């Protein structure tokens, strides 16, 4: 074997021009040509028009809609951050073509701040419509069959730590210290106030609670009570001083300090009361907070071996034949299975109104007599609604067994969606963006499925 040592001593020229050839059979070229960009633009235009300053959307620098739509889709196809998306578009010729290069006038790569701004201007409902529209595109292209629908739910975990009382009490102390340090610097009234928040001592008490080796329940509760008393005195002292300030003072605060101040004013007192009731009665209050920066969070226990408790929100998903997913609107954080049957069927009818017959399947968590009769009236007799063990009448026909087995096929799809998006655990810090990230994960999964069909790696089987 010979060795070629050319190029080892040379340096690259700054600003050198390189021609890159992107093959016609590149997956992103296939997807770009298959997507109805005008239909996608119609979905997002109402949000873009109502989120401009003074709603004068026709003034100012033009927003290259084709560029931002392509960037939004690419970001959720590959589950990458805003900065990574910016670098990827600058370095990848196929990404540039997908985002409209050679088609858009004055094309340029959007900055990562503009990528985030465009996504934030889209309501969660719009992002849900975009995700479901990809399933409609698959049906139009002949890659999916809407006559088969399987329904299941999953949990999207929120971007928060495990909500133990030890952790939340420590967080309250940290927030109070940051706010109090600002108040002492900003307002001369509080400069000589005798409030000192010793975080080192508080964290020491928290570690003593957390790493207590005692098996005595009373002793553990006493340690938690000591931590509660220490944090309560300091936090409520700061909260009392916050009550003196007026609206102008809050407006002049930096956004992060104002946010922490509002959390202390709105949630600290009620949380201390709930923890006190738990220490006295041993019962957790239903209204007890799980997070201070997120409001729409619930606790779920699905008895999974690796995850006993999950904290986040539920999503209702539907699979049509061809392995494309539909996602229902989050009307509540819990999205109870028994209450989700009718909304999911109506969503399917809205997306695919020309469907002549519908075969449905779902697990026993969705079973009620009302749901069974609703499915018979609106979908037909081919129903795979599993019945709990306490229901006497059981259906053991071959068709019923086939539907039950078919429904199990949605489970791996949910796993793939969680693996390639934020449906597993969100990176977002607000309720609205967390919900939107769940919808966008479905869009990313459906987009990857479209690529598999367009490149010939998957086929629709009846």
pLDDT (average), residues 383-396: 75
CA distances from 82 to 68, 100, 116, 308, 407 (A): 12, 18, 7, 33, 36
Percent of the chain beyond pLDDT 90?
A: 65
Burial zone of 156 (CB within 10 Å; 0-12 exposed, 13-18 middle, 19+ buried): buried
Instruction: Give a three-class secondary structure readout of the chain.
Output: CCCCCCCCCCCCCCCCCCCCCCCCCCHHHHHHHHCCHHHHHHHHHHHHHHCCHHHCCCCCCCCCHHHHHHHHHHHHHHCCCHHHHHHHHHHCHHHHHHCCCCCCCCCCCCCHHHHHHHHHCCCHHHHHHHHHHHHHHHHHCCCCEEEEEEEEEEEEECCCCCCCHHHHHHHHHHHHHHHHHHHHHHCHHHCCCCCCCCHHHHHHHHHHHHCCCCCCHHHHHHHHHHHHHHHHHHHHHHHHHHCCCCHHHHHHCCHHHHHHHHHHHHHHHHHHHHHHHHHHHCCCCCCCCCCCCCCCCEEECCCCCCCCCEEEEEEEEEEEECCEEEECCCCCCCCCHHHCHHHHHHHHHHHCCCCCCCEEEECHHHCCHHHHHHHHHHCCCCEEECCCCCCCCCCCCHHHHHHHHHHCCHHHHHHHHHHCCCCCECCCCCHHHHHHHHHHHHHHHHHHHHHHHHCCCCCCCC
Residue 380: pLDDT above 80? no
Q: Does the reported pTM lie above 0.85?
A: yes
pLDDT at position 13: 78
Q: Cα separation of 273 and 267, whole Å? A: 10
113-117, 177-181, 269-273, 373-377: range with lowest mean pLDDT: 373-377
pLDDT (average), residues 85-97: 93
- Is there a contact between 422 and 428 (Cβ–Cβ < 8 Å)? yes
Give me the half-sphere count of Cα atoms (radius 13 Å) on the Cβ side of residue 277: 12
Percent of the chain beyond pLDDT 70?
A: 98
Question: Quick one: pLDDT band at residue 393, thresholds 50, 70, 90?
Answer: low
pLDDT at position 388: 84
pLDDT (average), residues 275-294: 90
Question: Quick one: pLDDT band at residue 397, thresholds 50, 70, 90?
Answer: low
- CA dihedral (280, 282, 287, 293) in degrees, to 10, reads 90
pLDDT at position 2: 86
pLDDT at position 432: 93
pLDDT at position 395: 61
Model pLDDT for residues 416-436, shown as the tens digit of each residue: 999 888 999 999 999 999 999
Residue 46: pLDDT above 90? yes
Model pLDDT for residues 226-271, shown as the tens digit of each residue: 999 999 999 999 999 999 999 999 999 999 999 999 999 999 999 9
The residue ranking higher by pLDDT, 112 or 385, is 112
User: Both tokens of residue 376?
Assistant: 């018979």
Q: Cα separation of 391 and 394, whole Å? A: 7
pLDDT at position 399: 80
Question: Quick one: pLDDT band at residue 216, thresholds 50, 70, 90?
Answer: confident
- CA dihedral (134, 140, 142, 144) in degrees, to 10, reads 40
Q: What is the mean pLDDT of the chain?
A: 90
For the ranges 38-47, 206-215, 242-251, 360-369, the maximum mean pLDDT occurs at: 38-47
């Amino acid at each position: 074997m010979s060795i070629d040592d050319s190029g080892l001593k040379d340096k690259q020229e700054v600003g050198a021009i390189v021609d890159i050839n992107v093959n016609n059979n590149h997956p992103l070229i296939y997807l770009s040509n298959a997507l109805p960009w005008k239909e996608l633009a119609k979905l997002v235009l109402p949000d873009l028009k109502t989120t401009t300053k003074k709603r004068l959307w026709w003034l100012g620098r033009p927003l290259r809609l084709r560029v931002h739509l392509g960037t939004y889709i690419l970001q959720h196809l590959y589950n990458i951050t805003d900065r990574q998306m910016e670098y990827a578009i600058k370095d990848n010729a196929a990404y540039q073509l997908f985002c409209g290069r050679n088609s858009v006038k004055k094309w340029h790569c959007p900055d990562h701040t503009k990528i985030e701004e465009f996504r934030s201007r889209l309501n969660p409902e719009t992002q849900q419509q975009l995700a479901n529209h990809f399933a409609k595109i698959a049906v139009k292209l002949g890659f999916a069959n809407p006559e088969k629908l399987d329904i299941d739910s999953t949990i999207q975990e929120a971007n928060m730590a495990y909500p133990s009382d030890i952790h939340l009490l420590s967080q309250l102390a940290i927030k109070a210290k940051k706010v109090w340090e600002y108040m002492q610097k900003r307002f001369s009234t509080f400069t000589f106030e005798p409030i000192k928040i010793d975080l080192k001592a508080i964290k020491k008490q928290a570690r003593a609670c957390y790493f207590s080796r005692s098996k005595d329940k009373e002793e553990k509760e006493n340690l938690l009570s000591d931590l509660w008393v220490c944090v309560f005195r300091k936090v409520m002292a700061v909260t009392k001083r916050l009550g003196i300030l007026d609206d102008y003072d809050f407006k002049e605060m930096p956004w992060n300090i104002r946010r922490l101040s509002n959390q202390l004013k709105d949630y600290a007192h009620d949380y201390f009361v709930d923890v006190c009731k738990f220490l006295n009665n041993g019962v957790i209050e239903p209204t007890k907070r799980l997070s201070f920066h997120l409001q729409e969070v619930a606790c779920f226990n699905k008895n999974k071996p690796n995850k006993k408790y999950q904290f986040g929100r539920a999503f209702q998903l539907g699979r049509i034949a061809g392995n494309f997913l539909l996602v229902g609107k989050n009307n509540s954080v819990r999205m109870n299975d028994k209450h989700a049957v009718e909304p999911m069927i109506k969503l399917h009818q809205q997306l695919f109104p020309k469907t002549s017959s519908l075969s449905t399947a779902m697990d026993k968590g969705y079973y009620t007599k009302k749901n069974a009769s609703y499915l018979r009236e609106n979908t037909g007799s081919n129903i795979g609604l599993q019945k709990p063990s306490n229901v006497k009448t059981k259906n053991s026909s071959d068709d019923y067994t086939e539907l039950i087995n078919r429904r199990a096929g949605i489970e791996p799809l949910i796993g793939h969606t969680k693996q390639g998006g934020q449906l597993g655990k969100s990176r977002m810090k607000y309720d609205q963006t967390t919900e939107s990230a769940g919808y966008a994960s479905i869009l990313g999964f459906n987009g990857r499925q479209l690529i598999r069909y367009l490149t010939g790696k998957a086929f629709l089987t009846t």
